[in-house]
Amino acid sequence: MYLRQDLIPQSKIDEIIHAANIEEVVGDYVRLKKRGANLTGLCPFHNEKTPSFSVSPAKGIYKCFGCGKAGNSVNFIMEHDSLGYIEALRSLADRYRIDWPQQENINIDQERALRSEKESLQILNNWAANYFQEQLWESEEGKNIGLSYFEERGFREDIIKKFKLGYSHDSWDHFNQAATQQQFNTDLLLKGGLAKQNDAGKLYDAYRGRVMFVIHNSLGKVIAFAGRQLKKDDKSAKYVNSPETLLYHKSNELYGLFFAKNAIRQNDFVYLVEGYTDVISMHQAGVENVVASSGTSLTENQISLLKRHTDNVTVLYDGDAAGIKASLRGIDMLLEQGMNVKVLLFPDGEDPDSYAKKVGSVQFQEFLQQEARDFILFKVKLLLQDAAHDPLKKAQVTRDIVESISKIPDGIKRMAFIRECAAMLEMNEQLLIVELNKSRKGFLTQKEKEWISAEPKTIPHAEELAQILVDSPRFEQEHYIIKLLLQHGHKPCEGYAHVAAFILHKIDADEVQFEHEIMRLFLNEFKQLTLQNISFDTDTFIQHANPIISSATAGLLVVMHEMSDRWVAKFDIIMDDPNEMFMNDIGSALLYLEKQHLHKLLGQVQQELKEAQENKKEEDLNLNMEVYKLLKEKQQELSKKIGAVVLH
C-alpha cells in the first residue's frame, strides 16, 4: 500500500528529489551527449531520428522539443514507467537508498495487513498463471481441449506462451486442491476471484472448463484472469473475469499494454480493439502496438494510460453498425483528451482476429495502413446514412458532429474539421462555427480541469499548456507573467519583500483576474509562499511535489536554442545583462496585462449598455455610460504608457 501524497513529509520529498540527479535518472534510459551546458539524446517518448530531447543538469529538468514532454526526475519516471506520483517517488527512494516514511495517520497494523494481502495476492496470481499454463501443456485434458481450441484459432506455440494462455480443468475443485496444497488459504482464493463458494459453504473452481487469459499490468505483473467457456450448450457467461481486487481495477487497465508499450512508442500510435483474441491475433500478424478495452466502455483512466505512450489512436471496428454507434461516446472522450483519432472498419462479418487469419500477415498490415480514416469524417458518413433526406435527422446529425469537434483542444484542427464537415453536410461553414461556439463553453478542456484536482493522475505536457494560446491570444500575458515570476520572483525588489510581492501587489491593485486555470494555480502558489513568508527560488517550482507545477515549470522555462558561452565568445556578441533588464520586462508585461483586462471590462460594459438601451432603462444607461467613460480614459492613459494607439 502506498502512502497518500499529503501524508509524506515535504522534507522527505525534497530529499528524494535532490538525490535524484536528472542526468543519472534519464541516463539509465537515454544515451545522452554533451551539447553546451546541456545534454541531448533521442526522446524515449516518441520515435525520432534527430535528437530533440534536452536535459539541463543545472536546472534539474528535461524537455523534448519534438513531443513537448518536460519535467524533473520524478516526472520522467512517472512518464517512462507509467507510474503514479507516489510510486515514482518510492522508485527513486529505493534507487538512492532513502528510507521510505511510515504512514502515521492510520493504524500501522492495518497498513501491514493490507500490504501483506496485496503481496499474497501477487504470489497467488503468479502461481495460478503458471498452474493454468502447466495444465494446458502437460495435462491430457488441457492438451485435448484447451490447446486444441487455441490451435483451431490458429495461434502459434510461441504466441500462446508469450501471452501465458492456459487451461482450467473441467472439475469441481481441481484448482482449489492444488492451491490448498501450496498453502494458499480459502480467504485469499475467494478475494482473488479464483474460487467461489456455494450456499453450503463449499468451495469450487471459478474458471472450471475454460481456457485462460492472463491479464498483466503495464509493468508486466499478473493482476487478473479471464476464462472463456468452451461448451456450446453452456448457459453461463461467455467470459468469467476476475473481480476488483487490491491488484486489479478493470477501468484502469488495458489488455496487452505491457507487450505493446515499446511498439507504441516506436510507431507513435496505438490500435485499440475490443477483445483478448484480437490483441493476440494482431501480435501473431506482426502488429504489436495494439491494446484492448476488454469488452468494456472506454474509461478516462484507460485513456490517460494510453496518452502516456502516444497521442495517436486508431480504433478498429468489426462492421457492426449498432456496436459502432454505441462506442462513439468513448471516442469523444479520446478527442477531449487531445488524442488524434482514426477509425478502421473491417468487412462485414470480420474482426481483427478473423481477418488477420483470413488474409495473412502481409495483406493484413497493408489493410491497416490503407483503410484508417479520420474519426470525424467517418462519423459524418456513418450518421448521414440514417439521416437520408430527413431535415430533422440531418439537423441532429449536425449537432452531434459539431459536439464531437468541440471536444478537440487544438483550435486549428477544429477549424479544419469544420470546413470539411461543412462540405460533406452541404451546410454553411459559418452556421457550424456558431453551433461550435455554443458547444464549446469556456476555454478549458476536461483534461485541464482534471489537472487542477487535489491528486492529479496525469502530467500536463508543455505543448498542451501552450495550446490554449493557439485558440486565443488572451492568455499570452498571463503565461508571460508566470514565466517572469518563475525566473525572477525570488529576487530583491526595493520597497517589497521580493519581486513576486511587487508583481502580486500590482495585480491586486489593478484588480486583474487571471482566467487560465493553470496560470491561476501558479499565481496562488506564489501568493501562499509570500503570505507565509516562505523563501523560494526557481528550483522550488522545478522540484514541486505537485507534478502539474513541476512539469509545467519545465515547459515554461526551457528554451530550445540556448546560446552557449562558446558561441557568445566566438562571435563577440554583446548581450544585455538579464539581471538589469528583467524589471523593465515585468513593468511592460504588467501594463499589457492591465490593458487586456480593461479591454475585457469595456466589452462587458458595452454589452450592458446595449441591454439597457433595448430595455429602455434610463438609470442603468446613464450609470453604464459613466463607467464606460472612466474605463476609456484609463485605457487612453495606459496606452500612452505603452505607446499603443486606441481606435475610437
pLDDT of 323 strictly over 70: no
Q: Reduced to 3 states, what is the DSSP secondary structure of residue 602?
A: helix
pLDDT score recorded for residue 111: 58
pLDDT score recorded for residue 157: 95
Distances, alpha carbon 467 to alpha carbons 24, 413, 489, in Å? 31, 11, 25
Contact 149, 231 (CB under 8 A): no
pLDDT score recorded for residue 110: 66
Contact 265, 45 (CB under 8 A): yes
Distances, alpha carbon 246 to alpha carbons 81, 249, 367, 477, 600, in Å? 20, 8, 41, 46, 51
Mean pLDDT of 317-340: 76
Which range (423-437, 519-533, 612-626) has the least confidence? 612-626
pLDDT score recorded for residue 592: 66
φ, ψ dihedrals at 512, nearest 5°: -85, 130
pLDDT level of residue 4 (50, 70, 90 thresholds): low
Measured in whole angstroms, the distance separating CA 314 from the mean position of its chain's CA atoms is 17
pLDDT score recorded for residue 570: 39
User: What number of other Cβ atoms are within 10 A of residue 212's Cβ?
Assistant: 23
Q: Which residues contact 483 (CB under 8 A, 6 or more apart)?
A: 556, 557
pLDDT score recorded for residue 155: 94
For residue 242, give the nearest of 266, 265, 217 by alpha carbon: 217
Q: Which residues pair with 273 in a beta bridge?
A: 292
Whole-angstrom Cα distance, residue 195 to residue 225? Answer: 12
pLDDT of 288 strictly over 50: yes
pLDDT score recorded for residue 559: 42
Give pLDDT tens digits for 261-284: 888 878 889 999 988 999 999 999
pLDDT of 14 strictly over 70: yes
Share of residues in the chain with pLDDT > 90 (%): 22
Give pLDDT tens digits for 221-276: 899 999 999 987 767 888 999 999 988 988 889 999 989 988 887 888 999 998 89
Ranked by mean pLDDT, which of 16-25, 99-108, 459-468 comes out on top? 16-25
Contact 306, 261 (CB under 8 A): no
pLDDT score recorded for residue 384: 84
Which range (21-30, 101-110, 290-299, 346-355) has the least confidence? 101-110
Give pLDDT tens digits for 515-549: 777 788 888 889 888 888 888 888 888 877 777 78
* Rg, Å, the chain Cα set: 29
Whole-angstrom Cα distance, residue 186 to residue 292? Answer: 32
Give pLDDT tens digits for 560-595: 333 333 333 433 333 334 444 567 667 776 776 667
Q: Which residues contact 363 (CB under 8 A, 6 or more apart)?
A: none
Q: Spell out the alpha helix ranges (H) of 327-475.
A: 328-336, 352-359, 361-371, 375-387, 391-406, 411-425, 429-439, 446-451, 462-471
pLDDT of 33 strictly over 70: yes
The domain 108-248 having CATH identifier 3.90.980.10: the answer here is yes
Task: State the average pLDDT for the chain.
Answer: 79
Contact 16, 545 (CB under 8 A): no
pLDDT level of residue 208 (50, 70, 90 thresholds): very high
pLDDT score recorded for residue 635: 67
Look up residue 354 and give its amino acid. Answer: S
Report the predicted TM-score, pTM, of the whole model to 2 decimal places. 0.57
For residue 251 the three cell numbers come to: 477501468
Supply the DSSP symbol for 252.
G
Give pLDDT tens digits for 42-95: 898 887 778 889 998 878 899 988 888 888 999 999 888 878 888 889 888 888
Residue of 244 and 428 predicted with greater confidence: 244
Residue of 618 and 19 predicted with greater confidence: 19
Residue of 226 and 414 predicted with greater confidence: 226
Share of residues in the chain with pLDDT > 70 (%): 79
pLDDT of 358 strictly over 90: no
Per-residue DSSP letters for 439-489?
HS-SS--HHHHHHTSSS-SSPPPHHHHHHHHHH-GGGHHHHHHHHHHHHHT
- CATH fold of 5-95, please? DNA Primase; Chain A (3.90.580)
pLDDT score recorded for residue 80: 86
Number of H helices, E strands in the chain: 31, 16
pLDDT score recorded for residue 100: 78
Mean pLDDT of 321-340: 77
pLDDT score recorded for residue 261: 85
For residue 648 the three cell numbers come to: 475610437
Q: Which residues contact 320 (CB under 8 A, 6 or more apart)?
A: none
Which range (124-133, 354-363, 560-569) has the least confidence? 560-569
Which range (154-163, 393-402, 473-482, 608-617) has the least confidence? 473-482
Which range (16-25, 93-102, 396-405) has the least confidence? 93-102
Mean pLDDT of 284-297: 86
